[in-house]
Structure 1
Amino acid sequence: MRIDKYLWCVRYYKTRSIATEACKKGHITVNGQEAKPSKEVFPSDKITLRKDQITYILSVLDVPQNRVGPKLVDIYRKDETPAEAFEHLELLKLSKEHYRTKGQGRPTKKDRRDIEDYTIDPDEHHEEPTE
């Protein structure tokens, strides 16, 4: 089965065309090699895909005939994605919510200064005069 069709069948992508685009952009590798959409997938292959700032690692257990229901997905793949990847995504969401709620517009001068104070090394501001 083609890699784009497989990822659509096991519900990693909503449509096959989105899966095809991900392949073309280089977001998907099979056994360590970048995969074209027409790459064939076989049981025991390792698939790595980058989606929503998470790098998923999958093992192909079997190849489905058609798109399967969400409860049956585990029959066809084993998800080996480390838990840290999901924790990192959760941390990103929390940091975005903390800083600025949606619809508040551009940052103010005070916001910009706060960001600069946070990002710039304090040793850079105070340089000793050289003689």
Structure 2
Amino acid sequence: MAVRIDKWLWAARFYKTRGLATEMVNGGHVQMNGDRLKPSRQVQPGDVLSIVRGDETYIVTVTSLAEKRGSAAAAQTLYEESEESLKAREVRRELRRLDAASAPAPKRRPDKKARRQIIRFVRRED
């Protein structure tokens, strides 16, 4: 038995809608064994997928198939993520955390006077 890649990605909860999964496959964000795919491509247990979602890249091996979307716990049993992928995502997460800590958000929004100063400063740069 085999399942379409867009259905499987949706069932495994990598993308929120099947239409979005189709769009990402067409855009080249999902690769199987290093090759670009079409959304109608059949996926089988043992296939290795590279899935780009935002800034993160998942490298997963398909362990089981599903055509319907189930719970998150059930979705996690459909694939097994590689150790390199887990480590790379953890490193990126830590870098994002450190980056956010080094440039904290302002405590409040700028008032009218501060906004005018910002606008003058930005226009002066041009």
TM class by smaller structure:
0.7 to 0.9
3-state secondary structure, aligned to 1:86: helix
Q: Which residue of 2 aligns with 1:83?
A: 87
Write out aligned runs for 1:55-94 (5 A). 55-80=57-82, 81-94=85-98
Return the alpha-carbon distance in structure 1 between the equivalents of residues 93 and 45 of structure 2.
Answer: 29
| Structure 1 moving runs of 4+ over 4 Å | 102-109
Q: Is this contact kept in 2: 1:53–1:89, CA < 8 A?
A: no
- Greater Cα shift, 38-47 or 83-92: 83-92
Which moves more between the two structures, 44-53 or 76-85?
A: 76-85
Percentage of matched positions with identical amino acids:
29
Partners of 2:67 and 2:27 lie apart in 1 by 26
Provide the C-alpha distance between the structure 1 equivalents of 2:59 and 2:36, rounded to a whole number of angstroms.
Answer: 14
Higher-RCO chain (CA-CA 8 Å, sequence separation at least 6): 2
1:100 Cα offset (Å): 5.3
Q: Which amino acid aligns with 1:9?
A: A
Q: Which residue of 2 aligns with 1:39?
A: 41
Q: 1:98 to 1:16 in 2, by over 3 A?
A: same
Tell me, in whole angstroms, the C-alpha distance in 2 between the residues paired with 1:31 and 1:84: 19
Choose from 29, 36, 46 the match for 1:27.
Answer: 29
Task: Give how far 1:40 is off.
Answer: 0.9
**Counterpart among 15, 18, 32 of residue 16 in structure 1:** 18
Kindly tell me the number of residue pairs found equivalent between the two proteins: 110
Letter in 1 for 2:75: V
| Structure 1 vs Structure 2 CA RMSD | 2.6
2:43 alignment partner, SS class: coil
- Structure 2 unmatched runs, 5+: none
Q: Which structure 1 segments of 5+ residues have no match?
A: 113-131
Amino acid in structure 2 at the alignment position of 1:101? A
Amino acid across the alignment from 2:98: L
Which residue type is aligned with residue 61 of structure 1?
T
